[in-house]
């Protein structure tokens, strides 16, 4: 067959081909089919003989039967793929077996082409021609290979078993995808068992992120986490979203001076979607090839598991958030408030809540339409989220009301923040096809001894009513009521009894 392969004018005769089959008749038939292509052909009657020949010669293509004696074609292919000196050799597996399991092995052995023997007459030459197209002949100098054929098979299979066990252990992490921090800890705990580097960093994106998890077995600064983050190239702004586990190991040295050194970053992906990274830092030494391989192995296996974590987080967010604004909904905000109150009392720290209500919201809907009203709510939600601290909680309490939980703060500071927040919202750009100006009224309340979550919300609500009654676009603080009643006390119809009516009920929204 007058074809040329390779580059630079190389001809088919420069390629060395090894044909392996325990049947002399089939082996000879394959050789006869390939002879017209001008290859240098070598025959082997078993997998053991084929591996022995690789100690003496280099090959560009192997065509092997799948079912043989002690070393099968699948095992032979695995040996080639697991040996850096032979990993790029083209490999064709032939089988006459009808059994589904054998065909499965053939398709998944790592061969370039899997071909049924009944199709060999028609397909072998086109398959080989296409497979060798664009290749250049390997160097005739034999690579340094050691060990008997069986020892090399054993080493490759042991290598493969290691991969399978690590991948299996990664999949077991599915049990921890309900909690991002716990999951990250388990990932790094597993990675630390197979990667011998002093610093491992797991970076997660997704609905609950971005977050970083660090496992430090080398020196780590006490009380100065930012220095450790800087050495590992983690932005200082990510400090609040970084979880660090320090697990000292004497072989990496002691002290507080972090030396990240050379690193290797492995992306965690599902198809074309990047979900995060696993990064290893070698400290004062070079990154070992075995550590790079293990890191890639873990990262590759993590893709599906991390995606499951993200899907779990998305499901949880749908249950916890308001569909229009993306803020926490009232139900989750109530739960968070109970938790924050318990934490504030446990740690003896301050806590305040602010109830924010959009002024004249009914008039906005009436004049500009409900779509404009929705855009106003979304803009206020965005401003609140951008302005408050990361550990504060912002939620849509209902309608045009927003609740902000300020943790670890005193009343004076909370009042300053609330005033600035009110001013910021009043100065936000005009909503498209909406009102030129937007303002909010805010009621602020501080947690005091014996006050429940419901009572705290009620205090903030009453302060909000006063802010509405006294002109709107202002902040009122619970506990600072004047002796005189607000002018919004009106007489309810029926019964002749004068009772205070909520200022918001008297407001036109």
- What DSSP character marks residue 288? P
Could you tell me which of 216, 200, 212, 217 has the C-alpha nearest to residue 242? 212
SS3 396: strand
Question: Residue 8 is encoded by which pair of tokens?
Answer: 């630079």
Query: For residue 18, how many C-alpha atoms fall within 13 Å in the half-sphere facing its CB?
Result: 31
Check residue 414 and give its pLDDT. Answer: 93
Check residue 188 and give its pLDDT. Answer: 97
Going residue by residue through the chain, which has 509 residues, state the pLDDT in tens, using 9 for 90 and above.
Answer: 333 444 333 344 479 999 999 999 999 999 999 998 889 999 999 988 998 888 778 899 999 998 888 788 888 888 888 777 788 899 999 887 666 666 677 677 788 888 888 888 888 999 999 999 888 887 755 555 566 666 766 777 777 778 888 999 999 999 999 999 999 999 999 999 999 999 999 999 998 879 999 999 999 998 888 889 999 999 988 888 899 999 999 899 888 899 999 999 999 999 989 999 999 999 989 999 999 999 999 999 999 999 999 999 988 888 888 989 999 999 999 999 999 999 999 999 999 999 999 999 999 999 999 999 999 999 999 989 988 888 899 999 999 999 999 999 999 999 999 999 899 888 877 777 788 888 999 999 999 999 999 999 999 999 999 999 999 999 999 987 654 444 443 333 333 333 343 444 444 44
Q: Judging by beta carbons within 10 Å of its beta carbon (0-12, 13-18, 19+), is residue 292 exposed, middle or buried?
A: middle
Q: What is the DSSP string of 87-119?
A: TTSEEEEEE----HHHHHHHHTSS-SEEEEGGG
User: 């303002």: which residue's tokens?
Assistant: 439
Check residue 449 and give its pLDDT. Answer: 92
Give the integer Cα–Cα distance in Å for 148 and 261: 39
Give me the domains of the chain, ranges plus CATH numbers: 12-145 (3.40.50.2300), 166-318 (3.30.450), 330-506 (3.30.70.270)
Check residue 325 and give its pLDDT. Answer: 92
Three-class HEC string of 3-61: CCCCCCCCCHHHCEEEEECCCHHHHHHHHHHHHHHCCEEEEECCHHHHHHHHCCCCCCE
The rounded Cα 141 to chain-centroid distance in angstroms is 45
Give the integer Cα–Cα distance in Å for 443 and 70: 81
User: What are the Cα distances from residue 136, in Å, to 142, 240, 258?
Assistant: 16, 53, 47
Give the integer Cα–Cα distance in Å for 33 and 63: 12
Check residue 76 and give its pLDDT. Answer: 87
Furthest-apart CA atoms within the chain: distance in Å? 113
Check residue 102 and give its pLDDT. Answer: 67
Give the integer Cα–Cα distance in Å for 193 and 454: 49
Pairing of strands 199-204, 273-281: antiparallel
Give the integer Cα–Cα distance in Å for 294 and 308: 22
Q: How far apart are the first and last CA of the chain?
A: 87
**Model's pTM, two decimal places?**
0.61
Check residue 137 and give its pLDDT. Answer: 86
Question: Residue 195 is encoded by which pair of tokens?
Answer: 């990667």
Give the integer Cα–Cα distance in Å for 401 and 377: 9
DSSP H stretches of helix in 349-389? 361-368, 370-387
- What DSSP character marks residue 350? -
State phi, psi for 200 to the nearest 5 degrees. Answer: -120, 135
The rounded Cα 173 to chain-centroid distance in angstroms is 14
Could you tell me which of 270, 275, 378 has the C-alpha nearest to residue 323? 378
Q: Give me Rg for the CA atoms of the chain.
A: 35
Q: How many CB atoms lie within 10 A of CB 319?
A: 9
Spatial CB neighbours of 385, under 8 Å, sequence gap ≥ 6: 327, 394
Give the integer Cα–Cα distance in Å for 456 and 248: 45
User: 């990240």: which residue's tokens?
Assistant: 260
Check residue 339 and give its pLDDT. Answer: 94
């Amino acid at each position: 067959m007058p074809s040329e392969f390779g580059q630079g004018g190389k001809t088919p005769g420069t390629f060395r081909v090894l044909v392996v089959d325990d049947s002399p008749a089939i082996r000879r038939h394959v050789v006869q089919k390939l002879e017209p292509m001008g290859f240098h052909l070598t025959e082997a009657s078993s997998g053991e003989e084929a591996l022995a020949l690789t100690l003496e010669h280099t090959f560009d293509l192997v065509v092997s039967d799948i079912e043989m004696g002690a070393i099968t074609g699948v095992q032979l292919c695995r040996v080639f793929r697991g040996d850096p000196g032979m990993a790029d050799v083209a490999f064709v597996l032939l089988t006459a077996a009808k059994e589904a399991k054998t065909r499965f092995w053939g398709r998944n052995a790592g061969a370039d082409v899997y071909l049924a023997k009944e199709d060999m007459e028609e397909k072998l030459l086109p398959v080989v021609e296409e497979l060798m197209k664009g290749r250049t002949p390997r160097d005739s100098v034999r690579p340094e290979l050691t060990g008997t054929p069986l020892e090399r098979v054993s080493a490759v299979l042991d290598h493969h078993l290691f991969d399978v066990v690590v991948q299996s252990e990664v999949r077991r992490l599915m049990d921890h995808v309900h909690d991002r921090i716990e999951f990250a800890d388990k990932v790094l705990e597993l990675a630390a068992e197979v990667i011998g580097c002093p610093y491992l960093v797991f970076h997660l994106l997704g609905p609950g992120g971005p977050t970083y998890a660090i496992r430090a077995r080398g020196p780590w600064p006490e009380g100065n986490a930012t220095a450790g983050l800087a050495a590992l190239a983690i932005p200082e702004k990510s400090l609040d979203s970084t979880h660090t586990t320090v697990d000292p190991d004497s072989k990496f040295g002691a002290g507080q001076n972090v030396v990240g050194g050379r690193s290797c970053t492995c992306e965690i992906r599902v198809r074309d979607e990047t979900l995060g990274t696993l990064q290893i830092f070698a400290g004062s030494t070079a990154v070992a090839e075995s550590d790079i391989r293990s890191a890639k192995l873990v990262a590759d296996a993590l893709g599906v598991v991390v995606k499951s974590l993200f899907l779990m987080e998305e499901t949880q967010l749908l249950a916890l958030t308001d569909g229009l604004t993306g803020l926490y909904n009232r139900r989750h905000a109530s739960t968070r408030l109970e938790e924050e109150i318990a934490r504030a009392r446990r740690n003896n720290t301050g806590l305040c809540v602010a109830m924010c209500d959009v002024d004249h919201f009914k008039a906005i809907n009436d004049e500009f339409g409900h779509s404009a009203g929705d855009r106003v709510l979304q803009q206020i939600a965005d401003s609140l989220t951008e302005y408050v601290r990361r550990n504060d909680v912002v939620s849509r309490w209902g309608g045009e009301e927003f609740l902000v939980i300020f943790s670890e703060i005193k009343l004076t500071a909370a009042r300053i923040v609330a005033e600035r927040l009110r001013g910021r919202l009043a100065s936000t750009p005009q909503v498209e096809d909406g009102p030129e100006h937007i303002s909010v009224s805010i009621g602020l309340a501080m947690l005091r001894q014996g006050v429940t979550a419901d009572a705290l919300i009620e205090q903030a609500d009453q302060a909000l009513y006063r802010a509405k009654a006294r002109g709107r676009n202002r902040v009122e603080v619970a506990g600072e009521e004047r002796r005189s009643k607000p002018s919004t006390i009106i007489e309810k119809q029926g019964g002749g009894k004068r009772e205070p009516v909520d200022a918001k009920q008297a407001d036109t929204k």
